[in-house]
Structures are given as structure tokens and as C-alpha cells.
Amino acid sequence: MLKKLMLIALAVSLFACPALAQERTIVFATDSTWPPMEFVDANKEIVGYAIDYMNAAAKEAGFKAEFKAVAWDGIFAGLDAGKYDAICSSVSITEDRKATMDFSTPYFRVKQAVIVPKDSTVKSLDDLVGQKVGSQISTTGTFAVNAKEGVISKTYDEVGLAIEDLHNGRIAAVVCDDPVAAQYAMQNERYKDVLKIATVIETNEVEYYGIAMKKGNTEVLELVNKGIAAVKAKGIEDQLKSKWIGQ
């Protein structure tokens, strides 16, 4: 009898609070090796600008955000296989990617930066012809390296491995997203005194991050876009930039 009364009470509470009954959990895959956007902190928790951003978007739009660590190399295949609802992992919106998946409203503008040793005289990719340049596999950093004829591309599963090879003199430079480059070359205690950003690659196309999801998943797309719009409108985005990106 007590169990039946408890079930009735639960049903009444859900009826009285539709938001509680209807809250949607969206599972986001993230390659947590891309500081300060998404990475694992000293407490083994996934943190970063994009994580805070999507948690704020979830609060504003009325859904719950859950994050699942996934290696970059298989992150798009996992989305296609339905292993998660979306990807929150500094995914640049490109025409090729838009052909196979849908994207949210952009949430961060990004450029490609070239990291070199402090004593390097490199000023552009032109100066790296004939030399090895590292990047994380299947990223826009790799696309930029491959687009420069004569530069030898060396790809890595994680950008941190490329940075370490640069530090050890195995490659001449690393190309990656500018907030990540700034974190490694200007803030990381291991590298900030020995590495620098040589240049930012200028292109005709503006590059933005977006949340990726399977084509036609309008439910997730609408919820995420609603949250992003609120984060921008309420100034939360600026607060997060100040916290994670700085100047």
C-alpha cells in the first residue's frame, strides 16, 4: 500500500511540474585534450570553455548536458553510429562536414596559429617549406598544413603530443587553433618559456566552432540553439571568455 501511495505521489509531482518530467538529457562527445576549450583537470574531470558554455546553454534551454570522453580519431564515426547525441569538441564548421552532419549556431570564432621555438625566425608557413610541421589529425590545423605546398605534415592523435615533439626538437612547428596555441605557448608552465606563437594564418574564410549532430536531429538542434542564443544574449559568453581565454 505504501509503495502504491509513493507511486501516486510521484505521478502527481510530475504532472504538477511538467519541466521535471520532460527534461531532456543530451549526451555530448568531447575529445578532452584541447585546453582551454575542453580538457581533463587535476581532479580527472572534463572542464573548459566549451564545457561551461554548454552547461550554461543547458540551464537556459531546459535540458541536461552530459559529457562523454571520446578520442578525436573516432568521434565523427561514433556520432554517425548513434553512440551520443552531439559533439561538443571544438569542431570547426566546414562545408565538407556540413554535408554529413548538422551544426548549431556558431559559439566561438577561431584562427589557426603557428607555434615555434622561442629562438625560431619563422614568420609564416612559407618559412617552413621542407620542414616537418605537426598538428592533430583531421583538424583544420592539418588542413592548413596540407594546403601549403612543400611543408611536410606530421599528424598526431593529440595536439599535446605534437607540442611535446616540438619541445624536443623533432619537428619545426605546430599548427592548431589559436586559443589552444595561446594556452600552450603563453600559459603552460612547461612550454611558455621555450615556445611562442610565430603567426596566425590568415584565410579568406572565417572559421567558427559549432556543436555537431546527426543530420535531421531537429530536437537536439533546437534545444542547443536555444541555449546558445540565451548564453549570448545574457552576457554569459563574455564571462566565460574572460574566465578561460582572457585577453
Supply the CATH number for residue 15's domain: 3.40.190.10
Domain final residue pick, 201, 219, 234: 201
Same domain, 96 and 80: yes
Domain count across the chain: 2
pLDDT tens, residue by residue, 46-75: 999 999 999 999 999 999 999 999 999 999
Percent of the chain with pLDDT over 70: 90
For 185, counting Cβ atoms within 10 Å of its Cβ (0-12 exposed, 13-18 middle, 19+ buried), the class is buried
Q: What is the reported pLDDT for 10? A: 46
Q: What is the reported pLDDT for 247? A: 59
Higher pLDDT, 205 or 133: 133
**Rounded distance between C-alpha atoms, residue 95 and residue 105, angstroms:** 15
Q: Residue 94 sits in which domain range?
A: 2-109+207-244
Same domain, 94 and 131: no
Same domain, 7 and 81: yes
Same domain, 90 and 59: yes
Higher pLDDT, 3 or 179: 179
Q: Kind of pairing, strands 86-92 and 24-30?
A: parallel
